[in-house]
Amino acid sequence: MTFATRLLTTLTESGQLCVGIDPHAGLLATWGLPDSAAGVREFGLKTVDAVAGRAGIVKPQVAFFERHGSAGYAALEEVLAAARAAGLFVIADAKRGDIGSTVDAYGEAWLSPGSPLEADAMTAYAYQGLGSLRGVLDLAEQHGKGVIVVTATSNPEAVATQTAVRSDGRTVAAGIAAEVATLPGTGGLVLGATIRLGDYGIAPESLAGIPILAPGFGAQGARLADLSALFEAAAPQVAAHVSREILGAGPDGIVAAIDRAQAELRALPSVGGAA
């Protein structure tokens, strides 16, 4: 089964929430955990426990584990393995990109079956050309995994770069989206929930069948209740990502926070809720 089929099926069967695993120093303190590799390990494993059976997707943010060096990576390996063992769809937010021969190695790290860092999908940059990701896309296709390409991000600083017009007349973001659309099954898009797709020249109807990872809900200001209005025809393909807003509820409140977010998403008409 392809990555797209797997992720879109997960959205239908387990709801559209993707819970971030971002052990910020401040959140570790809220959780009563040390700002150390042991702390991020426990934070990650407890988050996996809370998500399992309540939502279908997690997105560990690699940076917060990397802060702790090799011990942080060991912690991340355990969190990834626990999430996959719990049946969760795991997106490693590693945001890698480089010339093809180098980016291939990133693909092997995050998408090879049996790799200590194995995930179901990874995030990647295509600013060196989507062709630079060819080897990773091939590897992903071989193993039913996915490459979610950073396209139009949730942070305001990115607008000038991502709306710049390429030599083919498309914005950078729309160009990437159109190229990823030629990779059905293996490619996905990062499209921030804080932006308007129209401002980037991206038509929701052009994204049919492509899984979308949408960060920006909660702490960055976007509202889950607006998902249908933001993504229109593409709304059912969206994994609505929330990290700080849910994790900030602490170890005693995280389950209720996940349930609340799921209920809010399930109530949306265009994503399978009330008509």
Tell me the closest approach of the beta carbon of residue 245 to ligand LLZGTKA7, in angstroms: 6
Give the residue, chosen from 14, 132, 154, 186, that forms a contact with ligand LLZGTKA7 under the rule CB under 6 A. Answer: 154
Tell me the closest approach of the beta carbon of residue 95 to ligand LLZGTKA7, in angstroms: 7
Tell me the closest approach of the beta carbon of residue 220 to ligand LLZGTKA7, in angstroms: 5
- Please, which residue, 3 or 65, has the CB nearer to ligand LLZGTKA7? 65
Which two tokens mark 271? 């994503």
| Straight-line distance from the first to the last Cα atom of the chain, in angstroms, rounded to the nearest whole number | 30
Tell me the residue nearest to ligand LLZGTKA7 as measured from the CB. Answer: 153
Site string for ligand LLZGTKA7, 5-44 (x = CB under 6 A): ---------------x-x----------------------
- Dist CA 78 CA 136 (whole Å): 23
Angle subtended by helix axes 134-142 and 100-111, to nearest 10: 30
**Within 13 Å, how many C-alpha atoms sit on residue 9's CB side?**
9
156-164 long-range Cβ contacts below 8 angstroms, 24+ apart: 156/194, 159/195, 159/199, 162/200, 163/199, 163/200, 163/201
Catalytic-residue membership of 59:
no
Per DSSP, which regions of the chain are E strands? 17-21, 57-60, 89-96, 121-124, 146-152, 187-191, 212-214, 238-242
Tell me the closest approach of the beta carbon of residue 9 to ligand LLZGTKA7, in angstroms: 23
- Dist CA 152 CA 43 (whole Å): 29
Give the residue, chosen from 107, 192, 201, 211, that forms a contact with ligand LLZGTKA7 under the rule CB under 6 A. Answer: 192
Which two tokens mark 49? 């426990």
Residue 1's Cβ-count burial label (10 Å; 0-12, 13-18, 19+) is exposed
Site membership for ligand LLZGTKA7, residue 241 (CB under 6 A): yes
Give the residue, chosen from 81, 219, 233, 249, that forms a contact with ligand LLZGTKA7 under the rule CB under 6 A. Answer: 219
- Please, which residue, 256 or 269, has the CB nearer to ligand LLZGTKA7? 256
Site membership for ligand LLZGTKA7, residue 237 (CB under 6 A): no
Site membership for ligand LLZGTKA7, residue 220 (CB under 6 A): yes
Which stretches of the chain bind ligand LLZGTKA7, using CB under 6 A? 20, 22, 61, 93, 153-155, 190, 192, 215-216, 218-220, 241-244
Catalytic positions:
95
